[in-house]
Chains A and B, each alone.
Chain A
Amino acid sequence: MTGLLTSAMADRGSSLGGRVATGGVDISHRGILYLESISVSFDGFKALNDLSLTIDAGELRCVIGPNGAGKTTMMDVVTGKTRPDAGTAFFGQTIDLTRLTEPEIADRGIGRKFQKPTVFANHTVFENLELARKADKRVWPTLRAKLDSTAHGRIMAILETIKLVPEAGRLAGLLSHGQKQWLEIGMLLMQEPQLLLLDEPVAGMTDDETMRSAELFRTLAGDYTLVVVEHDMDFVARIADRVTVLHEGHVLAEGSMQQVQENEQVIEVFLGR
């Protein structure tokens, strides 16, 4: 067992090693995600207002801000759910996100975790990961698909990473809240993404689960680029390389957690002074 698992892990490791440098996304200028002057309005309400944001490959960026600051809308724009009224969104140097559909964007390597954990409740944990796995996802190949040993090894490796090996055969709907969150992250990892967008990944988790999530995210950073939207400031302080503060649809401040916390404007917005 150990032999097979280590080889699977090594396999994953090597593919991870290559990921940041290659994989279809041109990150020759360090940046993996470029949002420039993005504006989105809903019935006159400006959800995003001239938002510009650059994320470097391999970093773990936390995005914070009060309710309605535009955090979720920003993720909607990146994943193709919402089209911006103005501005550009590029994945690496070449991929224009505003021209792609949701499945196409997912296929290019952007994985998204929703605020509310969404897993396939009537499938087992194993099957959830199997469905998410990077593969030819058109109808006919999916009908003919057989699970080979490489795929099996990869699923087992991810199960190890998200610590759900004992739950592999359980229906995902029966998992605890925290386990569902991890399963969803596992599903994102199965897609071999370059960039992971995580919307409040530790909301509703116990302290212990939050600690383990922080560990997990720190392990993933570097191999993957992570953008985490979170309200829990202790959690943000523990994991973030850099923090971006959003307010009323644009960037208020950016820097290390400490820099951000000392920023006058941020203090004003958050404490209402």
Chain B
Amino acid sequence: MTVGFMPLRHANGVPHFARGASGPAWIALGVAALVLLVVFPVCNLVVPPGSALHISDYWVTLGGKIMCYAIVALAMDLIWGYTGILSLGHGLFFALGGYAMGMYLMRSIGAEGVYHSELPDFMVFLDWKAYPWYWRFTDRFWYAALLVVLVPGLLAFVFGYFAFRSRIKGVYFSIITQALTYAAMLLFFRNDTGFGGNNGFTDFKRILGFSITAPATRMALFVITAAALLGFLLLGRAIVRSKLGRVLTAIRDAESRVMFSGYDPLWFKLFVWTLSAVICGIAGALYVPQVGIINPGEMSPANSIEIAIWAAVGGRGTLIGPVIGAAVVNLGKSWFTQTLPEYWLFALGLLFILVTLFLPRGIAGLWKGKAS
């Protein structure tokens, strides 16, 4: 009796036509969690340095850095791959999150700076006597954490509201975001802005009272970053599999039809755009204590373009693609910059051309192509 009707539904009411393999993806996620949250810490902290199984601090730092980039690429993919809006200014949100965390880390140095002042060295150098108003409360971790979320979030919300309301799309939107991050970079380069000018923040000593260079602290940061990456993957999955996720893809494919179906694309774009910016900010906040520096270079237009390349190389419109893309490109980058530093940009350009020509759906497209 129920033949034509029941097969169209899952037990939980999700239409049967919701695509995407589930089983293997869960296994892969479980393996990734095991490796990042158990194997890495054990092999770095417990296994002695002489052993073949030892993972050196170099790999922990590199791994942590790449996971931060992977989170950014994932955020980029939500807005670009799924919603079709190419941002070339995502480096700005990443940097703002980094700066918010950096302010807290600068305050944590205390009087251990070169000038033994309560103020950061760059402020002493500028002959400032007190912190400017926007540095208030930044000595408290919870407040800095709040800034990490609020600053990129609010900026994205306000900018996005006006851009999307004016129906700025496509290449115009990309160029404006590029200009935005460039303008911010120039602002942060100025010493008077109060963020350390072109040197930015560095020489951090401790975070939440723990020495920032201690192996255990570094590993803790690594594990937190891994947990954040896995968490954002799950969040991304929940979003793209929801009806809202289908509306986002519909906006990408036929925005006028979305409008005439009664959805206001403005709020949907604004939701995913702001969320994407907040995720980038969190990635930046995780990045700074691990790398030990934040400066306006993070806001340079080239950085934001590189983020788009990670997503494109890995595969737009998939969740795992951007993560793979960020890892592949950055592992390549760290190899090249050590062995053939002057050829890195050529290699990156070549990679981008090859992927565009032969793998339009990115590295993740290799699996999908086989599956379908």
B-binding residues in A (CB < 8 A): 1-5, 79, 101-103, 106-107, 111-112, 114, 118-124, 126-127, 130-132, 134, 137-139, 142-149, 152, 156, 165, 168-169, 184, 187, 191
Contact A131-B267, Cβ < 8 Å, known A143-B239, A146-B13: no
> Which of A124, A137, A156 has the most chain B CB atoms closer than 10 A to its own CB?
A137
CA distance A114 to B259 in the complex (A): 12
Task: Output the least CB separation between A184 and chain B (Å).
Answer: 8
CA distance A144 to B239 in the complex (A): 10
Within 8 A of A (CB), among B255-310: 256-264, 267-268, 271
Query: Does B15 contact A130, Cβ atoms closer than 8 Å?
Result: yes
**Is B355 an interface residue, CB under 8 A from the partner?**
no
A-binding residues in B (CB < 8 A): 1-5, 8-9, 13-19, 239, 242-244, 246-247, 249-250, 253-254, 256-264, 267-268, 271
Number of A-B contacts (CB under 8 A): 115
Contacting residue for B260 out of A4, A111, A145, CB 8 A: A111
Contacting residue for B246 out of A114, A123, A146, CB 8 A: A123
Task: Output the least CB separation between A105 and chain B (Å).
Answer: 8
Contacts of A1 in B (CB 8 A): 1-5
Contacts of A148 in B (CB 8 A): 13
Contacting residue for A139 out of B4, B5, B257, B271, CB 8 A: B271
Query: Does A112 contact B8, Cβ atoms closer than 8 Å?
Result: no
Query: Does B246 contact A152, Cβ atoms closer than 8 Å?
Result: no
Contacts of B254 in A (CB 8 A): 118-121
Query: Does B15 contact A127, Cβ atoms closer than 8 Å?
Result: yes
Query: Does A120 contact B14, Cβ atoms closer than 8 Å?
Result: no
Of all chain A residues, the one with the shortest Cβ separation from B256 is A118
Task: Output the least CB separation between B10 and chain A (Å).
Answer: 10
CA distance A184 to B260 in the complex (A): 11
Query: Does B261 contact A191, Cβ atoms closer than 8 Å?
Result: yes
CA distance A114 to B257 in the complex (A): 9
Give me 13 A-to-B residue pairs in the complex whose CB atoms sit less than 8 angstroms apart, sorted by A's number.
Answer: A101-B264, A122-B249, A123-B246, A127-B17, A130-B15, A130-B243, A131-B243, A142-B244, A144-B242, A145-B244, A147-B13, A148-B13, A152-B13
CA distance A107 to B250 in the complex (A): 18
CA distance A107 to B259 in the complex (A): 10
Contacting residue for A124 out of B1, B17, B243, B244, CB 8 A: B17
Contacts of A121 in B (CB 8 A): 253-254
Of all chain B residues, the one with the shortest Cβ separation from A170 is B17
Query: Does B249 contact A123, Cβ atoms closer than 8 Å?
Result: yes
Query: Does A120 contact B1, Cβ atoms closer than 8 Å?
Result: no
Task: Output the least CB separation between B18 and chain A (Å).
Answer: 8
Contacting residue for B4 out of A103, A122, A131, A165, CB 8 A: A165
CA distance A4 to B5 in the complex (A): 8
CA distance A143 to B8 in the complex (A): 22
Of all chain B residues, the one with the shortest Cβ separation from A113 is B260
Nearest 7 CB-CB pairings of A with B: A124-B17, A143-B244, A106-B262, A145-B243, A118-B257, A120-B250, A142-B244
CA distance A170 to B17 in the complex (A): 8
Contacting residue for B16 out of A137, A142, A149, A169, CB 8 A: A169
Contacts of B262 in A (CB 8 A): 103, 106-107, 134, 137, 191
Task: Output the least CB separation between A118 and chain B (Å).
Answer: 4
CA distance A144 to B238 in the complex (A): 10
Task: Output the least CB separation between B258 and chain A (Å).
Answer: 8
> Which of A2, A112, A122, A149 has the most chain B CB atoms closer than 10 A to its own CB?
A122
Query: Does B5 contact A120, Cβ atoms closer than 8 Å?
Result: no
Query: Does A139 contact B268, Cβ atoms closer than 8 Å?
Result: yes
Contacts of B16 in A (CB 8 A): 169
Contacting residue for B242 out of A118, A120, A145, CB 8 A: A145
Contacting residue for B256 out of A114, A130, A131, A191, CB 8 A: A114
Query: Does A139 contact B244, Cβ atoms closer than 8 Å?
Result: yes
Query: Does B257 contact A120, Cβ atoms closer than 8 Å?
Result: yes
CA distance A187 to B259 in the complex (A): 13
Query: Does B243 contact A126, Cβ atoms closer than 8 Å?
Result: no
Contacts of A79 in B (CB 8 A): 260
Contacts of B253 in A (CB 8 A): 120-123
Of all chain B residues, the one with the shortest Cβ separation from A5 is B5
Task: Output the least CB separation between A156 and chain B (Å).
Answer: 7
Contacts of B9 in A (CB 8 A): 152
Query: Does A138 contact B267, Cβ atoms closer than 8 Å?
Result: yes
Task: Output the least CB separation between A113 and chain B (Å).
Answer: 9
Query: Does A156 contact B261, Cβ atoms closer than 8 Å?
Result: no
Contacts of A191 in B (CB 8 A): 261-262
CA distance A124 to B253 in the complex (A): 13
CA distance A134 to B103 in the complex (A): 48
> Which of A102, A119, A139 has the most chain B CB atoms closer than 10 A to its own CB?
A139
Contact A126-B8, Cβ < 8 Å, known A118-B254, A143-B244: yes
Task: Output the least CB separation between A270 and chain B (Å).
Answer: 31
